[in-house]
A and B are shown apart, each in its own frame.
Chain A
């Protein structure tokens, strides 16, 4: 399965819905999408990972890169994820402390720092 990406605006935030597998082959597409959004002035991003079947360290690297970019503009990058096998990867790398992780897009949209 390849990577699918779609974006929409919800409550003043930009929601990036990701589906499929994020790995060394597909992660550059996600990176391009995040870079493009930030370049276009979207600094408050929500990455919805509920449709993600597989995530590896390359994907983590892209998300960290995205976070770095939005923070340079006082922005935010929130994740939506309830899948245990995906959450585990964030836990073992300590990235649960870096990303706010929400259980739904609505919760992420409502969240404030």
Chain B
């Protein structure tokens, strides 16, 4: 088991770095070459979404990506520090929107893109867990790694 963690300021230009790091670590973990494109795309979408949400509310907390090669699976968790309205309290006017500030600043296109990003992740990843809470949101995804197959342990 090995962990690589990447933390970056919520800026669009850093999403590519996250993709490159995730693909490199996934390859090293033994994720099949044919799946690497999916890993790259899924982590990019999750990071783009986290960056978008963070920027929408004008927060300056970083986005954290944790890459974990353990238990025969390669998993990626992308976390943002944007509190989700449903968990913050039902008293807010925009509580019906899953995206804080979306109604207030007219960022409906960003929201649509964020939804499209989630749609892409849903289409790509079988093992997926999307969470939202007062501490922020997280997207956790995983893929089988080479260590998943008995008798196929990398030396």
Contacts and interface: CB of A to CB of B under 8 A. Distances in A.
A106 interface: no
Contact of B52 (A21, A24, A89, A93): A24
* Interface size class of chain B, counting residues whose CB lies under 8 Å from the partner chain: 20 to 34
A85 B123 CA distance: 13
Contacts of B45: 56-57
B123 A92 contact: yes
A19 to B, nearest CB: 15
Nearest to A94: B119
A65 B116 CA distance: 13
B119 A21 contact: no
Contact of A92 (B40, B48, B109, B120): B120
A54 B36 CA distance: 12
B132 interface: no
Interface of B: 12-13, 15-16, 19, 37, 40-41, 44-45, 48, 51-52, 109, 112-113, 116-117, 119-120, 123-124
